[in-house]
């Protein structure tokens, strides 16, 4: 029998600790390879804990425990033949080399594969290798980065031995695909010990020159503290795992006195009278490396622009009827339903009604086919301290305004607490984004692939409008619908937006379904 320790994996560049959410198995239960046995929660999302081996489970970290990256989560007692997804060197090969005369006894060959990273993640991109073919690597040493459309993960060595690279940098891999192999070194002869130590010395000296993945990067709380103090993270020495700057490091850090930059004399082009001007004051520049997650987002946005025939149509809506309705019934609404009445519920309900009338707007492209949905799942942007997230409202066509407001409040609360799960942020059929809360007057939103359309809301501005031959001041909002022209024609897109405008300007139509 063998006991395998399963540790907290690297879950992204800025994630330094996680909380054990729940265990779906108990100590003593038998688990299978890649079976989901629990959930980890970070300040960004939730991740499944999958069994790395088949065997008997022993839980080490209880529910609610906060752990750093690399801490032990649980242990799995396995049979010797089931220690990992290792492919052992067959006995015939071992017999062909007499153990008495061999200098190095090689054990298992470990095949490292792409592990499940979440329900909606089906493929990843392999980043740059930090090690080369044939390098000696140690257990848990970072070998490369794996990028998905959600986050970036570190690939760490599952054993100590010689690295054999299978997948090259930039390759797109599916879950379960082979990444590399590690030829485990069980014993080293005396003659090889000196060479190995020299190699380790060279590796350690080179690692001092090359920053580790976490070195110099502050945690989220540390970053806020340093920003408040006006301290550059490069001036702070990290004491966390891999040299990461912790909250304690940020609290202890003190701002260095900066000396004024020397005056820079800039010589102008010589003219008939040569003059020299002096540029005074601080002229500093700061350069930060783009994170792998930001690069992935950039690739996806560019891909949407390149792979879809995106077009935007505009209209405007008079918001006075909804504003009057809210002013009249908001107190009674809150008293009865226990939730405030906002604008988003009206927009979500209007869009759900219009999407059922124009199903192509609610459809998506799948190869040579168009997939139509008889339900409406609307992705709604929610603002948090860490940025915008897009949780999904399910079956909006069956919900009342109160149901929509309650669900938005629930998802918004989870988003601000960093407890949204990946399934709660994926699978929408249509998206609503509200740039108006930030003051945007008009924009052309980018489609949220694989969806085919997105509605952009903007700020409400009082403008003079001609009504029945008279000029009236009305609260108006510009509406923008970006859509994929490959499957959505101009007639459908314009008709859909006109229907949304009609429902917003006459909200009683949603009640009467006319």
Find out whether the peptide bond into 450 is cis, omega within 30 degrees of 0: yes
First to last CA, the chain: 70
Contact predicate 413/450, CB 8 Å:
no
CA distances, 25 to each of 33, 42, 57, 62 (Å): 13, 20, 8, 12
Measured distance CA(56)–CA(77) in Å, rounded = 5
DSSP string, 273-333: S--EEEE-S-------PPPHHHHHHHHHHHHHHHHS-EEEEEEEEE-HHHHHHHHHHHHHH
Q: Residues 211, 235, 385, 485: which is the catalytic one?
A: 485
Contact predicate 156/223, CB 8 Å:
no
Based on the residue annotation, tell me whether 485 is a catalytic residue of this protein.
yes
Measured distance CA(297)–CA(43) in Å, rounded = 19
CA distances, 331 to each of 143, 202, 338 (Å): 59, 72, 10
* CA angle 403–409–414, rounded 5-degree value: 130
Based on the residue annotation, tell me whether 337 is a catalytic residue of this protein.
no
Contact predicate 322/509, CB 8 Å:
no
How is residue 186 written in tokens? 């069980």
How is residue 183 written in tokens? 């030829």
Q: Residues 211, 324, 331, 489: which is the catalytic one?
A: 489
Residues with catalytic roles: 485, 489
């Amino acid at each position: 029998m063998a006991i395998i320790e399963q540790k907290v994996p690297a879950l992204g560049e800025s994630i330094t600790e996680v909380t054990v959410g729940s265990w779906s198995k108990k100590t003593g239960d038998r688990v299978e390879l890649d079976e989901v046995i629990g959930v980890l929660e970070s300040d960004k999302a939730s991740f499944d804990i999958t069994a790395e081996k088949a065997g008997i489970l022993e839980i080490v970290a209880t529910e609610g425990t906060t752990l750093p990256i690399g801490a032990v989560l649980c242990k799995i007692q396995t049979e010797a033949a089931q220690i990992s997804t290792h492919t052992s060197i067959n006995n015939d090969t071992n017999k062909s080399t007499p153990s008495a005369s061999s200098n190095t006894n090689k054990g298992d060959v470990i095949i490292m594969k792409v592990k499940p990273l979440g329900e909606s993640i089906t493929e990843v991109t392999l980043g740059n290798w930090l090690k080369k073919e044939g390098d000696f690597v140690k257990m848990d040493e970072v070998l490369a980065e794996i990028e998905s459309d959600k986050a970036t993960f570190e690939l760490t060595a599952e054993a100590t031995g010689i690295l054999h690279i299978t997948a090259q940098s930039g390759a797109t891999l599916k879950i379960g695909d082979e990444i590399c192999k590690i030829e485990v070194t069980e014993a080293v002869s005396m003659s090889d010990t000196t060479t190995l130590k020299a190699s380790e010395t060279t590796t350690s000296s080179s690692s001092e020159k090359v920053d580790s993945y976490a070195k110099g990067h502050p945690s989220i709380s540390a970053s806020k503290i340093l920003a408040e103090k006006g301290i550059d993270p490069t001036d702070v020495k990290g004491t966390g795992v891999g040299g990461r700057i912790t909250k304690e490091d940020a609290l202890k850090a003190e701002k260095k006195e900066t000396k004024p930059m020397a005056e820079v004399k800039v010589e102008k082009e010589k003219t008939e009278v040569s003059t020299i001007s002096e540029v005074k004051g601080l002229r500093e520049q700061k350069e930060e490396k783009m994170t792998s997650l930001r690069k992935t987002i950039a690739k996806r946005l560019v891909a949407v622009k390149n792979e879809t025939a995106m077009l935007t149509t505009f209209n405007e809506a008079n918001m006075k009827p909804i504003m009057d309705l809210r002013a009249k019934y908001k107190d009674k609404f809150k008293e009865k339903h226990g939730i405030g009445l906002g604008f988003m519920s009206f927009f979500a309900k209007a869009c759900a009604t219009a999407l059922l009338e124009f199903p192509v707007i609610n459809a998506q492209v799948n190869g040579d086919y168009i997939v139509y949905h008889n339900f409406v799942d609307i992705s709604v942007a929610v603002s948090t301290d860490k940025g915008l997230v897009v949780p999904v409202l399910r079956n909006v066509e069956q919900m009342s305004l109160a149901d929509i407001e309650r669900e938005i409040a629930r998802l918004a609360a989870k988003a601000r607490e960093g407890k949204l799960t990946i399934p709660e942020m994926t699978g929408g059929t249509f998206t609503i984004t509200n740039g108006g809360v930030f003051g945007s007057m008009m924009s052309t939103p980018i489609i949220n692939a694989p969806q085919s359309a997105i509605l952009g809301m903007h700020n409400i501005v009082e403008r003079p409008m001609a009504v029945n031959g008279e000029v009236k001041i009305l609260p108006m909002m510009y509406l923008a619908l970006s859509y994929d022209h490959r499957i959505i024609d101009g007639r459908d897109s314009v008709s859909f937006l006109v229907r949304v405008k009609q429902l917003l300007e006459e909200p009683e139509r949603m009640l009467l379904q006319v």
